[in-house]
Structure 1
Amino acid sequence: MPETDTAAPLPQPLLDLASRYGVVPDFWDFDGGKRSVSESTLVAVLAALGVDASTPERAAVALENAEDDPWRRTLPPVTVVRQGATAEVPVHVLDGQDVVVRVELEDGGDGVDLPQADVYVPPRTVDGRRLGRATFTVPDHLPLGWHTLVAETPDSTARATLVVVPVRLELGRGLDERRAWGFMAQLYSVRSSRSWGVGDLGDLAELSWLAGRRCRTDFLLINPLHAAEPGSRMTPSPYLPVTRRFVNPIYLRVEDIPETAYLPVAERSLVEWQAEVARPLSEDEGPIDRDAAWAAKKVALEVVHAAPRSAAREAAFADYRELEGPGLLDFATWCAIAEHYEGEPWPAEAHDRGSALVQRLKVELADRITFYCWLQWVADEQLAAAQRAATEGGMRLGIMHDLAVGVHPEGADAWAMRDVLAQGVSVGAPPDMYNQQGQDWSQPPWRPDALARAAYKPYRDMLRTILRHAGAIRIDHVLGLFRLWWIPSGASARDGAYVRYDHEALIGILCLEAQRAGAVVIGEDLGVFEPWVRTYLTERGILGTSVLWFEYEGKTLMAPEKYRRLALATVTTHDLPPTAGYLAGEHVDLRDRLGLLTEPVENVRAAARRERQQMVDVLASRGLVGGDPSERELVEAMHRLVLASPSVLVGVSLADAVGERRAQNQPGTDQEYPNWKVPLADSAQRLVLIDDLFENPRLRSLVAAVNAALDEAR
């Protein structure tokens, strides 16, 4: 029977305050035991929410202030309601004052006057003013969209955001009639003879078209393309970006920028010289050198940027800058400042984007700010071209983008969004069976209260930018839209607490923006979670994630026929070695070498052998393998096993398709392992370029097995 923690009771004012701000004082761990959060952790997490709970007296004052705070606003900053449902909006005015409320529609259509509900709430004195609350009802016939609530009294007008979201995100793309399968790839690792050391957006277009045309795939799931640092040292992890909204320009194909074709001879030579330095990197079997690739590509991009643009191209650039608005300007400004101060500490004023220093730097660095805006524009064009190539190749969904959990603590978003990101804490995960020490991802989380005050617009803008050229989006750790594990600075990953978010608002806005983009949404819902969460996501039309190695009923592998229909089913994930390596127990050997195990390696290795044997027994019992199957036969059989599920999407790792054995990432490590630097190679560790990828015998054999299994099921 799992142990239940019996820590001393926490002070009631602290518990009441934690409840008010969505901080959870206990949790169920992966062993099924109930654990209490320490008092010091609760105090630190509340401090990150701007709440002083350092003493019982201060906690009591903070609680009273929290109860008064909604009364200080005429309207709540944002109201999110499902289409076809009503909602009640509290409106605070001087007691006895008349007020009328209406909705101004997003499309500029006729406004809607809201009726007042017969709800009595006693007046309240706040900050020396006697205030009353009137309740108005949002009708159930409003269209989807971002509307405006307007409250007018004889002497004031208040405005707030009203978001009407879909009840459910429908599948579309013909998925109700026919399932889809596709490849999963780490784009940087999938290179061609034209790459500059890192797989790029030109490679993405070619890979997508060829996969659709030659393999009958319907999607290509890629790693997050979020931007990294603009300087000479780039963080390799695509899951620790400086922003989640904009793209890493290392993925640009210089030759595909239209102005490159019209460069004068001298400038063209400069570009070619950089290409001669960078292209050989794609033949290097060692860890991918992003810094060398970016150094060469950045010089070439600066040359192309300096070239004249036609009137139409200049107008298109201006339109893009207007479309992305202040968010793009903030990001480009941060890039220019980071470049300006590279290698030295930033002055304190530089961390404040409203400071006099930052305003002066905006003028001094105007050309570099324009350059970084331009990089995003040409990246947007190349992303559009890649999605177009995917659909022209026959894919129904095309590119499936990946949204990371958070951002670098010293990156562009952390700089520009200090008002909506929590300070003094980072996001992570409590201990689980694969990461027994817990995880600290070093990322500042959204502040749920501040995000609501901002009417969720930073979240909306991020989604719109990513979804613009996507057929689908995978939300890494989608459970973070419900709750996140906050770890106070200086504490271990074990000593955190869950903070709850308004999932109804976050999921609703995600559904709205995905519906407008015509995209399918997949939530990575692995790990420790509350059981009702998966049901909720299914009801909203968000697909879940099923990984063969993780799907168990008790101690027995779950039959794939029991998988969820609304799911992306796969054999493996990027946080495990490819299937060939996993079957060989290399995940145990690697964690042992890196000192990540918390129990004797012999025990872990024996458990891995039992896990492998159970898998082989299941495959044999279904007639998918015979006696003494080869590695290739096992890998193909495991994919046919997943295809026995009802899941509407099935993903096949490109690493599995060519027989790669090395992991792309080992959770819990930083410099100890070449995370996110492993180039695509076959079972003999020979590099596989896109030029030869679709002639690879193992890929062709696996593709044939997958398509045959799908054809048999129809």
Structure 2
Amino acid sequence: MPEPTAELIELAHAHGVATEFWDWQGVHTDVGDHTIRTVLGALGVSAETDADVRASLAARGETEWEQVLPHVLVRTAGQEQRVPVHVPDGARYAATLHLETGETMELGLAEHHVTPREVGGRTLTEGMLLIPASVPLGWHEVVVEGTFGTHRMPLALAPARLEPPAAEPGEEAQRWGLMTQLYAMRSRRSWGTGDLGDLADAGAWAAGQGADFILVNPLHAAEPTAPMEPSPYLPTTRRFVNPIYIRVEDVPEVGYLSAAERQLVEWHADDARRYLDLDHLDRDAVWGSKEPALRMVYRQPRSLRRERAYQAFCEREGQGLVDFATWAALVRTHGQVWREWPEELQDPRSEAVLAAREELADEVGFQQWLQWVLAEQLATVQRDLRSTGMALGVIHDLAVGVHPDGADTWSLGDVLARGVTVGAPPDQYNQRGQNWSQPPWRPDRLAEVGYAPYREMVRAALRDAGGLRVDHIIGLFRLWWIPEGLEADEGTYVRFDHDALVGILMLEAHRAGAVIIGEDLGTVEPWVRDYLRERGILGTSILWFERDEHGPLGPERYRELCLATVTTHDLPPTAGYLTGEHIRVRQSLGLLTRDLEVETAEDEAAREEVLAMLRGKGLLREGAGVPEQIEALHRFLTWTPALLVGVSVSDLAQDKRTINQPGTDEEYPNWRVPLAGPDGSPVMLEELLTWRSARRLAGTVSRRRF
């Protein structure tokens, strides 16, 4: 492969594309010429030939001057801001700031001397608008008017820092909560997979044990028809929710069903509950029973009060909801791969799509109604958990991306990049790298649309939530892009405007009164963690990974601003990790690049270092079994300054099976493993919550006394 030219490297750097990086072992690696050119092409930058590269470099210098205003600016509130404006030399113009409150203010010019430039046959000059530090937080708009027209720019002013919720007088600052894969946490009342009724019950039990939050896997929407993607981290959209989580019996209109219809609903429920005893979850079968029951409920008349609430929801969600519901209706008619639909239906703004929406109006309405029901049930769960005394309640999880054939790739167009997917470079746990099969945001297009899709996604995730976990938060700084057809280790990093993405996240979290937890594991530039800490965003500390060259970290060396846990969904539950389940799984799947004996010995030695530290601190006795080790590991976390401590529901059950094995697809039943007990048999939620061992583990981390 040819080496990239100096001009190609310059062009790549101008667009945030890395041409070199250091891998997980600290080895310097150069990025290939083909990868750089392909990634630039995905960013809309012509770079196929050296002549293209030279032309793109020449054009870049004029782009900013051709715009009267930047596409969007995200800045920190409480500071004076300067906004560049480019106008014809000598032109008169007026600039105003329209606050989101409806107020307006005139904007003056700061002293700014720049030599005019010839751009596209015009002489342009640059001014600098001055925005006072007194402008409050929020989404505002800068408007410039002159003989050259009217130009507008969104301006977001975010808080400098998010402050964690303050503890009550006399209470410990550290708070604990449950972490669960909701679909896997079933009760006898749920329909084969866990639902929002189960979430409410688990949360109520946890609140009774002194918990302040319950963190759930991403609840994002999947396909509306079989086969349904099992991974909650590969959704069709991150703005809307999977209706498989609806508790049918909790929909008010169920009360209007006739006796015969109620009997049909019960028949569907009994049919779905047959899947509770299977070793693997079957989402398609469960949805096959739940969907017809929900359609019966949908057909029931709504009271005036309920109808007004539904219409208000549709108005609030706007075109995004219409597009999602239309996509779901078209999937039922034309299949899940929208690129294989008739060409006229591949453009969501086409006349053909408008006509199809009218033709499929009832189905579109059903899909919108499902999202309304979900929003109501989620709001109820959060309200109920807060009323039990939880400080935070539900913490949602935001996936890093979306399915390449999903609703977002259809409706958002080129705001998502084409011809590339995101993943992760090789690291010690995935030594061949990872390809997550997800198209990334295009940073240039995202800015051009004022970050609207990102803002709406974040706002939806934070609605009726006490917090948000951002999966792979490093993706707000840089993402590993892999050209289609190449291996996961043949990609490169692409940088994003992290100030803008993090600022918007913080602004919406501040308004929601929510905490933000960044999953900052893997290959992370050290300055990124410093940046997030300064902004008040919590990191993620997994006990097994908290170590340096001398061994595992003592509790006093943990971060304060973090969610500390023993395990994560990409590792086996603690009972499995303690017995080397992760090594056995990776060996059976051919994911190890070193001899099994070497991996096993190294892993056992690392685990023994941790257990020896616990014994040295008096947290664990010699010869203790796995249940005692699980308790000691969690008690250790309460000795750390971490603000949040999480306990996996799988650890309450002493489950052993891996939830997800990164780097695999169908080779392992990822995201299809139901909650099980120590013997591997499925365990129901109501049973688990009566176990003395579950209450004992909860008591290990609880700082409250009853």
Same fold (TM over 0.5): yes
Which residue pairs with 2:346 in the alignment? 351
Alpha-carbon distance in 2 for matches of 1:173, 1:269: 49
Structure 1 alignment gaps of length 5 or more: 1-6
- Look up the SS of the partner of 1:63 in the other structure: helix
Which residue pairs with 1:645 in the alignment? 640
Which residue pairs with 1:57 in the alignment? 51
Q: Which amino acid aligns with 1:667?
A: P
- Look up the SS of the partner of 2:241 in the other structure: coil
- Look up the SS of the partner of 1:296 in the other structure: helix
Q: Are residue 115 (structure 1) and residue 108 (structure 2) matched?
A: yes
Which residue pairs with 2:287 in the alignment? 294
Q: Are residue 92 (structure 1) and residue 77 (structure 2) matched?
A: no
- Look up the SS of the partner of 2:109 in the other structure: coil
Which residue pairs with 2:323 in the alignment? 330
C-alpha deviation, 1:711, in angstroms:
6.0
User: Which stretch of the first structure deviates more once superposed, 494-503 or 155-164?
Assistant: 155-164
Q: Are residue 246 (structure 1) and residue 233 (structure 2) matched?
A: no
Which residue pairs with 2:415 in the alignment? 420
Per-residue CA deviations over 1:115-156 (Å, capped at 9, x if unaligned) read 212212222222222222211122111010000100011352
Q: Are residue 24 (structure 1) and residue 18 (structure 2) matched?
A: yes
Q: Which amino acid aligns with 1:309?
A: R
User: Which stretch of the first structure deviates more once superposed, 81-90 or 307-316?
Assistant: 81-90
Per-residue CA deviations over 1:146-192 (Å, capped at 9, x if unaligned) read 00100011352111101111011111253896210011100001111
> Mapping of 1:646-685 within 5 angstroms?
646-685=641-680
Which residue pairs with 2:514 in the alignment? 519
C-alpha deviation, 1:15, in angstroms:
1.4
Alpha-carbon distance in 2 for matches of 1:711, 1:384: 26
- Look up the SS of the partner of 2:83 in the other structure: strand
Which of these residues, 203, 212, 216, is aligned with residue 207 of structure 2?
Answer: 212
Alpha-carbon distance in 1 for matches of 2:172, 2:164: 10
Which of these residues, 270, 273, 280, is aligned with residue 279 of structure 1?
Answer: 273
Per-residue CA deviations over 1:478-501 (Å, capped at 9, x if unaligned) read 000000000000011101111111
Q: Which amino acid aligns with 1:320?
A: F
Q: Are residue 687 (structure 1) and residue 697 (structure 2) matched?
A: no
- Look up the SS of the partner of 1:639 in the other structure: helix
Instruction: Check whether the contact 1:250–1:294 (CA below 8 A) recurs between aligned residues.
Output: yes
Which of these residues, 221, 224, 242, is aligned with residue 227 of structure 1?
Answer: 221
> Mapping of 1:439-588 within 5 angstroms?
439-588=434-583
Q: Which amino acid aligns with 2:132?
A: P
Which residue pairs with 1:3 in the alignment? none
Which residue pairs with 1:73 in the alignment? 67
> Mapping of 1:285-434 within 5 angstroms?
285-342=278-335, 345-434=340-429
Instruction: Check whether the contact 2:674–2:682 (CA below 8 A) recurs between aligned residues.
Output: yes
Q: Are residue 142 (structure 1) and residue 135 (structure 2) matched?
A: yes
Alpha-carbon distance in 2 for matches of 1:142, 1:526: 36
- Look up the SS of the partner of 2:239 in the other structure: coil
Q: Are residue 703 (structure 1) and residue 698 (structure 2) matched?
A: yes
C-alpha deviation, 1:75, in angstroms:
0.9
Q: Are residue 131 (structure 1) and residue 114 (structure 2) matched?
A: no
Which of these residues, 158, 162, 168, is aligned with residue 151 of structure 2?
Answer: 158
Q: Which amino acid aligns with 2:216?
A: I
Q: Which amino acid aligns with 1:268?
A: R
C-alpha deviation, 1:222, in angstroms:
0.6
**Divergent runs of 4+, >6 A:** none
Structure 2 alignment gaps of length 5 or more: none
Per-residue CA deviations over 1:73-115 (Å, capped at 9, x if unaligned) read 2111111110111222111111110122110000112x12222
Per-residue CA deviations over 1:497-524 (Å, capped at 9, x if unaligned) read 1111111111111110001011011000
User: Which stretch of the first structure deviates more once superposed, 614-623 or 235-244?
Assistant: 614-623
User: Which stretch of the first structure deviates more once superposed, 180-189 or 86-95?
Assistant: 86-95
- Look up the SS of the partner of 1:295 in the other structure: helix
Q: Which amino acid aligns with 1:220?
A: I
Which residue pairs with 2:28 in the alignment? 34
Alpha-carbon distance in 2 for matches of 1:61, 1:537: 38
- Look up the SS of the partner of 1:246 in the other structure: strand
C-alpha deviation, 1:263, in angstroms:
0.9
Q: Are residue 265 (structure 1) and residue 268 (structure 2) matched?
A: no
Alpha-carbon distance in 1 for matches of 2:604, 2:343: 54
Task: Quickly say closer, same or farther: Cα 1:452–1:343, change in 2 above 3 A.
Answer: closer
Alpha-carbon distance in 2 for matches of 1:492, 1:646: 41
Q: Which amino acid aligns with 2:573?
A: P
Instruction: Check whether the contact 1:28–1:34 (CA below 8 A) recurs between aligned residues.
Output: yes
C-alpha deviation, 1:614, in angstroms:
1.1
Q: Which amino acid aligns with 2:444?
A: D
RMSD of aligned Cα (Å): 1.5
Per-residue CA deviations over 1:428-463 (Å, capped at 9, x if unaligned) read 000000000000000000011111111111111111
Alpha-carbon distance in 1 for matches of 2:105, 2:554: 52
Q: Are residue 82 (structure 1) and residue 82 (structure 2) matched?
A: no
C-alpha deviation, 1:573, in angstroms:
0.4
C-alpha deviation, 1:392, in angstroms:
2.1
Which of these residues, 431, 435, 442, is aligned with residue 430 of structure 2?
Answer: 435
Alpha-carbon distance in 2 for matches of 1:326, 1:427: 27
Task: Quickly say closer, same or farther: Cα 1:166–1:586, change in 2 above 3 A.
Answer: same
Instruction: Check whether the contact 2:3–2:33 (CA below 8 A) recurs between aligned residues.
Output: no
Q: Are residue 193 (structure 1) and residue 188 (structure 2) matched?
A: yes
Per-residue CA deviations over 1:577-626 (Å, capped at 9, x if unaligned) read 01111111111111010111111111111111111211221111111111
| Paired positions, count | 701
Q: Which amino acid aligns with 1:670?
A: D
Which of these residues, 33, 42, 48, is aligned with residue 48 of structure 1?
Answer: 42
Instruction: Check whether the contact 1:548–1:571 (CA below 8 A) recurs between aligned residues.
Output: yes
Instruction: Check whether the contact 1:26–1:34 (CA below 8 A) recurs between aligned residues.
Output: yes
Q: Which amino acid aligns with 1:501?
A: F
| TM-score normalised by length of structure 1 | 0.96
C-alpha deviation, 1:8, in angstroms:
7.8
Q: Which amino acid aligns with 2:383?
A: R
Instruction: Check whether the contact 2:3–2:32 (CA below 8 A) recurs between aligned residues.
Output: no
C-alpha deviation, 1:555, in angstroms:
4.6
Per-residue CA deviations over 1:243-264 (Å, capped at 9, x if unaligned) read 0010000000111000011112
- Look up the SS of the partner of 2:69 in the other structure: coil
Per-residue CA deviations over 1:656-681 (Å, capped at 9, x if unaligned) read 11110001101111111111111111
Alpha-carbon distance in 2 for matches of 1:651, 1:333: 38
Alpha-carbon distance in 1 for matches of 2:167, 2:116: 54
- Look up the SS of the partner of 1:167 in the other structure: coil
Alpha-carbon distance in 1 for matches of 2:313, 2:4: 53
Instruction: Check whether the contact 1:173–1:396 (CA below 8 A) recurs between aligned residues.
Output: no
Task: Quickly say closer, same or farther: Cα 1:711–1:439, change in 2 above 3 A.
Answer: same
Q: Which amino acid aligns with 1:474?
A: R
Alpha-carbon distance in 2 for matches of 1:268, 1:64: 69
Instruction: Check whether the contact 1:210–1:393 (CA below 8 A) recurs between aligned residues.
Output: no
